Copies of this chain bind each other. A is one copy, B any other.
Amino acid sequence: MDLGDRVLVERNGISYEGVLMPSLRADHVVIKLKNGYNIGLRAKEIDIKLIEKGQDIKSKQLDRPLKEKPGLPTVSILSTGGTIASKVDYRTGAVTSQFSASEIISAIPELEEIANYRARVIYQILSENMRSEYWSALARAVAEEIQSGAEGVIITHGTDTMMYTAAALSFMLKTPVPVVLVGSQRSSDRPSSDASMNAICAATVATSDIAEVCVVMHGTTNDDYCAIHRGTRVRKMHTSRRDAFQTINQHPLGRVDYLSRKIETILSYRRRGEVELELKERLEPRCALVKYTPGSSPEIIHYYIDKAYRGIVLEGTGLGHVASDWIEGIARAKQENIPVVVTSQCLRGRICDRVYDTGRDMLQAGAIEGGDMLPEVALVKLMWVLANGPGEVGPLMKTPLAGEIALSTPITV
């Protein structure tokens, strides 16, 4: 049997009918079910029968070689895995989730009107397996593409940790061209799939004047527009909705109308060519995010200090608080030169540790106020600041480096 074949699988008396998919594990068979979900089954536990041969993926791939269209800009597509890859494949009839430029364009012909493409597979992973070394390598790949002439870069990415990757690239790259992360929340065999529209809007932004790292995803549950989120301000706020991504504590950078492909910007932004390409991809991975809950033991701070972590982000309550018995741990971290940055589990709004006693004690102990930074973004920023400096960590954490923090937060967001 080949990938793409329709098969019937039986295990423990239960039958599954679906399309044979590539598996990341040699001992597993993956089947895409009718409801659009993939299931993985241990090969040795199942009985598998062919129902119908699928399309020949390889010959299909060769059906439509990419034709260079003169006058269109060149965009690099870097793929890292995730639902968007498998969905695009599904539309083409190809069920491998490693895709080539011709495959994605076969699936979404509108893309051909927007740019010429070149593609590289960087990773083929579920995005929960991303880690800081991969962010650094991805930043290098983006820089290489720009150096070799890409006028825009699209990164396809699983949605689970897209916000972390977007934040990391935002700190690591000063880019003269757009760097757009895009993914999809629904696989393509569901009527509500978002991959096509997201990809088209991403290509539109990749060829625009917005030379920033941003995330382009559905702006509403309708297929009307995609939101353009600044890479340091975006968060996945729903497990499954198509409009799961939201800009927090700011307005989105802008939006792309799906039908007209017009971009409307809301915030000011860095324009194409405004800066030279600059890559600073080092990160200090030994940083921890600690979410405070009532009564939780302050020992956790000492644990990270003892384990030689270099920085800690606290996700406190309200304006940025932890219980009074945590203050001593913060003071010890300060003494051992380990910065402790305070953010809020409210996610929205600003830290202000000057209002109540606890906050003032935290500041006195050496805690650094995270302003209106998202906790996850503060973590990535701390990794970057510790590895790159220059200067003291505290003041740098409070200084906007890539739009991640502001002196005031609009009350209307």
Contact = CB atoms under 8 A, between A and B. Distances in A.
A289 interface: yes
A358 B317 contact: no
Nearest to A28: B357
Nearest to A295: B131
A285 interface: yes
Number of copies: 2
Contacts of A133: 295
Given A346-B236, A349-B240, A349-B241, A323 B357 contact: no
Contacts of A354: 37, 39
B37 A323 contact: no
A320 B347 CA distance: 19
Given A240-B319, A293-B376, A318-B236, A25 B357 contact: yes
Given A239-B351, A291-B289, A358 B164 contact: no
A51 interface: no
A5 interface: no
Given A354-B39, A357-B24, A360-B39, A346 B237 contact: yes
Interface in A88-104: none
Interface in A1-35: 23-25, 28, 30
Give the contact-size bracket for chain A: 35 or more
B346 A238 contact: yes
A180 interface: no
Interface stretch (A122-130, A197-205, A258-266): A122-130
A50 interface: no
Given A126-B358, A129-B358, A293 B237 contact: no
A288 interface: yes
Contacts of A323: 128-129, 131
A303 interface: yes
A293 B289 contact: yes
A38 B164 contact: no
A38 B319 CA distance: 14
Contacts of A227: none
Contacts of A132: 294-295
A379 interface: yes
Contacts of A315: 291
A393 interface: no
Interface in A264-318: 285, 288-296, 299, 303, 307, 315-318
